[in-house]
Structure 1
Amino acid sequence: MSDIPARDQKFIEQLRETIEQHMSDEQFGVSELAEAVGMSRSNLLRKIKKLLGLSVSQLIRQVRLERAMELLKDSELNVSEVSFEVGFASTSYFVKCFREQYGYPPGEAQERFQQENTVASVELLTVSNRKRLIIGLVALALLACVVFLFWKLSDADQDLTEVEKSIAVLPFKNDSSDTTNVYFINGLMESTLNNLQKIGDLRVISRTSSEKYRNSPKLIPEIAEELNVNYFVEGSGQKIGDRIMLNIQLIEASTDKQLWAEQYERKAEDVFKMQQEIASSIASRIKVLITPDEREQIGKVPTQNLIAYDNFLKGIDLVIVGDKQKNMAAIPYFKKAIELDKTFAYAYASLAFAYYNLDLFMADRQYIDEIDYNAEQAMKYDPELAESHIAMAFTHMQRMDYAGALPYLEQALEYKPNSASVINLLSDFYANYLPNTEKYLEYALLGIQLNVNANDSSTTSYIYLHLCNALIQTGFVDEALYYADRSLDYNPQNPFTNYVRAFMLYAKEKDYEKLRSRLITEWKKDTTRLDILQEIGKVSYFMRDYETAHEYYSLFLDMRDQMHLDIYRYEQAKIAVVFDEVGEHEKAQSLLKGYLDFTLYADNSVYKEANLAVYYAYTGEEEKAMEHLETFSRVENFQYWLILFDHDPLFDSISDRPEFQAAWTRIKNKFWSDHERLKTQLREKGLL
């Protein structure tokens, strides 16, 4: 690090110290580090890449692994204990990372340390110091030149007003009468958007937000006000035989003035070079900084086989729609693309996505092997493709290894820092798979910045639904109701908003009867809604109205079995209590066993200790229950529902014990303390 200027060395040392202070916190990642040192995520990413040639997540992982090496050499801790100490929730992932860093597994560290030649190390250090002195002097001279030039340029431009570098790519138009060309024109739009999303210095509005304006008569300044952007890209074109004709222009939003335009007529074989030129020209015109790594990402050619690329575009055009029939129809196109180019990483990743979508929420997952294979192939042929990392995350999520999935999603965001789809994946991940209320709210707020005014009122309604759900889970009741009402303003028929809103109103009113009545009203609109069915059963359970709870829970279980779904297993202890209360003891025991199996072997959430406390309290093992509850009382970022519904019949056997009441008070105080801290942070950022 001695070839880095002293000022930047201090900065790197500060980063390393900050990481070391949070060494055992598995949730401490890129966003937390950026916040701790008072920088934006994108600026931190660029600076670390420039100084060290690493991504921020790689730096964090490097510091963790260096500490792991120290512990393995100097302590009596085993590999699993070291993994936990340095912030790896998954030991298998720790072993994988350690081997990649050092070339051998962590179990061999101590033996190899004993064999090291310390004399050779001292000699090497002496030579290295002389080299560093020379390099350091050269670096200082270069830095002086750079500072002088920067001062001169800054002085010349000091009167210019800095405009936020934000852009939307409007839907490209098909100039051909041949409607079968639409997928290709959509593909050119998508590639333009993808390339721009790779630039950390540029805020890029998502495709769904721009799609609303495909046939809109609105003027550019009107659209700019709605999307809150300063620049637009418009395009139109057609494909005739092996020729591509594309007209593209960059527009300044405030004036509707054309800043740059180009007419391309190229052979199909030059399509990738054309896409790279478009992104570079746009970035140059609005003075966006593109780092060398970002330029390399933009310059990548996904395949040399144009027929493979054509099939890939046809598949992508279907997968984006999102339903299972479309995903099934996309699979042959991806397979054909791979058949024509065995190294086509993006096609492998997209095929993994299609299979993952088909298996989502199913009890009997049919495509685990296909997802694994295609994700591994994608990583093999392009380990720096964001989609390769998303596909690998899906392989871990299929096996409920959520801690193992997280690093891949975070790495995907580093490769595409402006990707609304990756941000939404992380938001959903922290909401449902590895629950963390603070992280969920962070990504929901970030996502809404890239997804404002989506392609129609229905989609906008869902975006606000996501945000209001994140807010209520962190205890912001009034703010959650505000965004729930905004969701309903855009779509009064949104089937989920009134459902979630019922719980927000309960948080204000504390009236079980009203809550159950509202839920029943929503369920009658669609009696296939398993989520509402189990919630009606649960509210009745908290009311200790076990007959009504049994009625709705029975419907829920029957429908879950008929649809072969693997959902809400973490709720089975409550259902078991209800069946036991109405005399169905054998069914109750079966449900309780399923609950314990899930909690012991599949529950990787922050609620695991609370769920075990519930089980042991109900089975009469009170000391075990208190032990697990004490452990849970030290957990952070749990959902508001836990303390909102705090008279759980499962805890009846221990609820009068002073130590239970003390632990529960600590849990509630911790939630509200975290809530106040988060409120301060959000207000400082202007988000509340």
Structure 2
Amino acid sequence: MTEPSEKDLEFLTRLKDILTSNLSNEDFGVSELADAVNMSRSNLLRRVKKAAGVSVSQFIRDFRLSKAFIMLQESDVTVSEVSYAVGFGSTSYFTKCFRELYGFPPGEAAQYAKNHEEIVRRRSSIKKYTFAGLLVLAVAALIYAGITYFQGTPESGLTYGKSIAVLPFVNNSNDVGNTYFVNGLMESVLNDLQKIEELKVVSRTSVEQYRNNPKSMTAIGDELRVTYLVEGSGQKVGDQIVLNVQLIHAAMDIPIWSEEFRRDASDVFELQKEISKIITQFIEVMVTPEEEERINKRYTNNLIAYDYFLQGFEALNNSKTQVDLEVSVEIFAKAIKEDSAYSRAYAAIAMAYYYMDVFQANKTHLDDLNYFADQALLYDDELAQGLIAKSLYYRTKGDCERAIPYLEKALVYNPNSGLALNFMSDIYALCLPDTEKYLIHALKGLEINTIASDSATTSINYMHVSNALVQNGFVEEAEHFIKISKKFDPSNIFADYLEAYILYARDQDLQATRERLEKTLARDTTRLDVLQEVAKVCYYQRDWKSSYAYFRSFVDARDRLNLAIFKNIDGEIAYVFDKVGKTKESKKFMVSYREFIDVNPNFSKDLDMAMYQSYIGETEKAMQLFETYSKDPRVNYWSLLFLDSEPLLDNIRETEDFKALFQSMTSSFWERHEALEKTLGIIELY
């Protein structure tokens, strides 16, 4: 980071004066500071990031802690008193933050140094050392400040709290056939760590790209946004296992623990648990008794069944075709033959059957998915993989309400399950729309799946976060993430037209939005999703002739391909067709729209029916339905942007009652937006 300018220093001094005046107020956070300096949160973020190189929340936290450091020099104050005096409502959280910043607990502050700035300067000036000099560095650091690990370097300057990634283990054997076994050891350690709620654990798909990758640990840590990395290598020779594992502080590129294990193959289960326990102890993560019990659980005691399971898991992870999936099922079946109560094997077969059907119109393996999910839960009703499989059975059937409780339980037993988080965000985005829950799960999913196994999937992950952000009114943040999405995959047309709408949310220029969408459509004229989006923008412009031309192309293609898609826009099609004199066809589409409303399970049913009733002249019924919709907490930002110009609502849109309801709906939305912003610290995602 470059040195701050004189103007930047003056700005930071102003912020510190404001924070000093509100030091004991634990509710004085980013939003309050932004209000105090008459800036938006996003502008404050950028200004502080430029001047101080940290987020606003970190700037506030570190300032409070620096004041605490000074107070702790006084012998007559307790840690608890200081924590409340500097705005921490929880002494335990204050202690955690203090230790993370300084490397020692607040109760020991007076022992190590009197000068706060000197400690911070020395801690931030430690540079990377060669492995040969590591011991000297560690001893010197321990003597100086009683610290076990470090919080940053000038190269990256970043740590990411209690977060970790388990990198692919290396097979040291000349026998490539042992790779599945070494990968299984890595998977077991990963699976154990994922069960700890206090620890953020990056998914296997995100780390797979670093197999045989020459990047530095610091670079990998920054890309995955984790503080710690686990590296491993090993081999199995006959009945002997040799495994080398090290825990690395990524920002410093320094191992803080490494060990070689030589064990009998029969001790493999104990070895896996031992490694997980050592790691959690070194990074001082809190493991609850319930989490420890789940970590210590054995899914099988049968080594032959376990070996088959690892082979099947390797086949499942590397599958690219239906045949590959069928092979994995056959191997898992061998594991179950050896141990008929092997819950993990049952769950794995269920997932294989799900993937066999996922892109098929005819779901031929639905019963298999259900049976094996039930078998997994029969032998272990807390198995996250079994719960996810059962949820997918209901999701595939279209019964999302019954799918959700299984995913919620899966996240209780495995808080870092990327699969569960992704499926939850999918449900709240498409099946049971709920913008707030969509955003919460999409954000958490992105933390776990920072980088997917390929750029296209990574692009989609960022696109989902962008979509969830804009639906909750976070336009600048949505624009930021959609740019990342397009950077990973410039060919992502979904991202292309989502960006067009995000820019509309920013500028509210329908003509510019139309031109962007037409440009996107020109990239692939077969994309019916984009075609109907262009038609809708023309509809909102009340350019009936152009809207009809696009809708006509869409309807003809939909009929030709015999697709029952986008039935929710048949009301708009009916309206446009009526405007251009296609009365007979218009009536047919309005009937279709009414049929769609009748089977629509979503909360938007009230809005759809309000638009239908408004169109046919039943204005009193339309107003009642719109009132019900306007009070629903799941209303998203698109409603605010488009409903006050919605042609289907023309018969009620200019009434005073409608305007009052629309204004109330708008106020409620922004109140929820502000509450969500405080809860999640959305801006800090930059």
TM-score normalised over the length of structure 1: 0.69
1:235 equivalent to 2:232? Answer yes
Q: State the SS of the aligned residue for 1:200.
A: coil
Q: Deviations over 1:630-653 (max 9, x none)?
A: 111111132211221222222233
Q: Report what 1:626 is aligned to.
A: 623
1:345 equivalent to 2:349? Answer no
Between Structure 1 and Structure 2, how many residues are aligned?
A: 534
The AA in structure 2 aligned to 1:505 is: L
Q: Is the Cα–Cα contact under 8 Å of residues 172 and 235 in structure 2 kept in the other structure?
A: yes
Q: How far apart are 1:199 and its partner, in Å?
A: 1.6
**Distance (Å, rounded) in 2 between the aligned partners of 1:558 and 1:329:** 42
**Distance (Å, rounded) in 1 between the aligned partners of 2:217 and 2:415:** 26
**Distance (Å, rounded) in 1 between the aligned partners of 2:439 and 2:191:** 25
**Distance (Å, rounded) in 2 between the aligned partners of 1:360 and 1:391:** 13
Match of 2:483 among 482, 485, 488: 485
The AA in structure 1 aligned to 2:397 is: R
For residues 385-464 of structure 1, the aligned pairs below 5 Å read 385-452=383-450, 458-464=456-462
Q: Report what 2:243 is aligned to.
A: 246
For residues 639-654 of structure 1, the aligned pairs below 5 Å read 639-646=636-643, 647-654=645-652
Q: Which moved more, 1:312-321 or 1:464-473?
A: 312-321
For residues 540-551 of structure 1, the aligned pairs below 5 Å read 540-551=538-549
Q: Report what 1:499 is aligned to.
A: 497
Structure 1 residues 353 and 600, CA gap change in structure 2 (3 angstroms): farther
Q: Report what 2:165 is aligned to.
A: 168
Structure 1 residues 456 and 375, CA gap change in structure 2 (3 angstroms): closer
Q: Report what 2:189 is aligned to.
A: 192
Please give the root-mean-square deviation of Cα atoms over the aligned residues, in Å: 3.4
Q: State the SS of the aligned residue for 1:496.
A: helix
**Distance (Å, rounded) in 2 between the aligned partners of 1:560 and 1:493:** 24
The AA in structure 2 aligned to 1:637 is: R
Q: Is the Cα–Cα contact under 8 Å of residues 242 and 260 in structure 2 kept in the other structure?
A: no
**Distance (Å, rounded) in 2 between the aligned partners of 1:256 and 1:686:** 27
Q: How far apart are 1:169 and its partner, in Å?
A: 0.6
Q: Report what 1:105 is aligned to.
A: none
Identical amino acids, percent of aligned pairs: 43
Q: Report what 1:677 is aligned to.
A: 675
**Distance (Å, rounded) in 1 between the aligned partners of 2:552 and 2:305:** 50
Q: Is the Cα–Cα contact under 8 Å of residues 250 and 261 in structure 1 kept in the other structure?
A: no
Structure 1 residues 566 and 283, CA gap change in structure 2 (3 angstroms): farther
Structure 1 residues 183 and 515, CA gap change in structure 2 (3 angstroms): farther
Q: Is the Cα–Cα contact under 8 Å of residues 221 and 256 in structure 1 kept in the other structure?
A: no
Q: Report what 2:371 is aligned to.
A: 373
Q: Is the Cα–Cα contact under 8 Å of residues 400 and 602 in structure 1 kept in the other structure?
A: no
Structure 1 residues 539 and 284, CA gap change in structure 2 (3 angstroms): same
Structure 1 residues 518 and 291, CA gap change in structure 2 (3 angstroms): same
Q: How far apart are 1:411 and its partner, in Å?
A: 1.4
**Distance (Å, rounded) in 2 between the aligned partners of 1:581 and 1:358:** 46
Structure 1 residues 626 and 199, CA gap change in structure 2 (3 angstroms): same
Q: State the SS of the aligned residue for 1:654.
A: helix
- Structure 1: runs of 5 or more not aligned: 1-152
For residues 652-667 of structure 1, the aligned pairs below 5 Å read 652-667=650-665
**Distance (Å, rounded) in 1 between the aligned partners of 2:349 and 2:306:** 14
Q: Deviations over 1:31-82 (max 9, x none)?
A: xxxxxxxxxxxxxxxxxxxxxxxxxxxxxxxxxxxxxxxxxxxxxxxxxxxx
Q: Report what 1:223 is aligned to.
A: 220
Q: Report what 2:297 is aligned to.
A: 300
**Distance (Å, rounded) in 1 between the aligned partners of 2:328 and 2:449:** 25
Q: How far apart are 1:389 and its partner, in Å?
A: 1.7
**Distance (Å, rounded) in 1 between the aligned partners of 2:548 and 2:319:** 35
**Distance (Å, rounded) in 2 between the aligned partners of 1:636 and 1:381:** 39
The AA in structure 2 aligned to 1:248 is: V
Q: Is the Cα–Cα contact under 8 Å of residues 244 and 258 in structure 2 kept in the other structure?
A: no
**Distance (Å, rounded) in 1 between the aligned partners of 2:553 and 2:348:** 37
Q: Which moved more, 1:468-477 or 1:330-339?
A: 330-339
Q: State the SS of the aligned residue for 1:427.
A: helix
Q: Report what 2:205 is aligned to.
A: 208
**Distance (Å, rounded) in 1 between the aligned partners of 2:310 and 2:533:** 42
**Distance (Å, rounded) in 2 between the aligned partners of 1:423 and 1:680:** 22
Q: Report what 2:610 is aligned to.
A: 613
Match of 2:522 among 486, 509, 524: 524
Q: How far apart are 1:190 and its partner, in Å?
A: 1.9
Q: How far apart are 1:296 and its partner, in Å?
A: 1.9
Structure 1 residues 311 and 495, CA gap change in structure 2 (3 angstroms): farther
Q: Report what 1:510 is aligned to.
A: 508
Structure 1 residues 598 and 307, CA gap change in structure 2 (3 angstroms): farther
Q: Which moved more, 1:640-649 or 1:250-259?
A: 250-259
**Distance (Å, rounded) in 2 between the aligned partners of 1:440 and 1:329:** 35
- Structure 2: runs of 5 or more not aligned: 1-103, 113-145, 150-160
Q: Deviations over 1:359-418 (max 9, x none)?
A: 447654444333332222222221101122212222332333323322221211111122
Structure 1 residues 681 and 540, CA gap change in structure 2 (3 angstroms): same
Q: State the SS of the aligned residue for 2:257.
A: strand
